[in-house]
Amino acid sequence: MKRVIFWALAVLNFIAGPAAACSMALVLAFDVSSSIDVGEYRFQTHGLADALLDPEIMDVLVQHQVALSVVQWSGAEEGDLSIPWRRMLSYGEVKEFSGWVRDMPRTWEGSNTAVGDAIAFSAAQFDRVADCGRKVIDVSGDGSSNAGLNAGAESRKAEAAGVEINGLAIDIIGASITAFYERFVVTSDGFVITSRGFSDYPRSIREKLLRELIKPGS
- For residue 23, CA distances in Å to 8, 119, 180 come to 24, 21, 29
Whether residue 166 contacts residue 136, with contact meaning beta carbons closer than 8 Å, is answered with yes
Look up residue 23 and give its amino acid. Answer: S
Q: Give the model's pLDDT for residue 197.
A: 85
> Has residue 9 got a pLDDT over 70?
no
* Percent share of the chain, pLDDT over 90: 75
Helix 55-63 crosses helix 91-102 at what angle (to 10 degrees)? Answer: 120
d(CA 50, CA 102): 8
Which of these ranges, 173-177, 183-187, 190-194, 198-202, has the smallest mean pLDDT? 173-177
Q: Which tens digits make up the pLDDT trace of 36-51?
A: 889 889 989 999 999 9
d(CA 120, CA 113): 14
As a CATH number, domain 21-217 is 3.40.50.410
This prediction's pTM: 0.88
Whether residue 193 contacts residue 177, with contact meaning beta carbons closer than 8 Å, is answered with no
Q: Which tens digits make up the pLDDT trace of 64-75?
A: 999 999 999 999
Look up residue 57 and give its amino acid. Answer: I
> Has residue 25 got a pLDDT over 90?
yes
Mean pLDDT of 98-111: 93
d(CA 125, CA 3): 17
Q: Give the model's pLDDT for residue 3.
A: 53
Contacts of 49 (CB under 8 A, 6+ apart): 98, 99, 101, 102
> Has residue 119 got a pLDDT over 70?
yes
H or E segment and range at residue 25: strand 24-31
Q: Give the model's pLDDT for residue 216.
A: 47
Q: Domain extents for the chain?
A: 21-217
Whether residue 69 contacts residue 28, with contact meaning beta carbons closer than 8 Å, is answered with yes
Q: Which tens digits make up the pLDDT trace of 137-164?
A: 999 998 899 999 999 999 999 999 999 9
d(CA 151, CA 186): 9
Q: HSE of 51 in the Cβ direction (CA atoms, 13 Å)?
A: 22
Is residue 166 helix, strand or coil? strand
d(CA 73, CA 79): 4
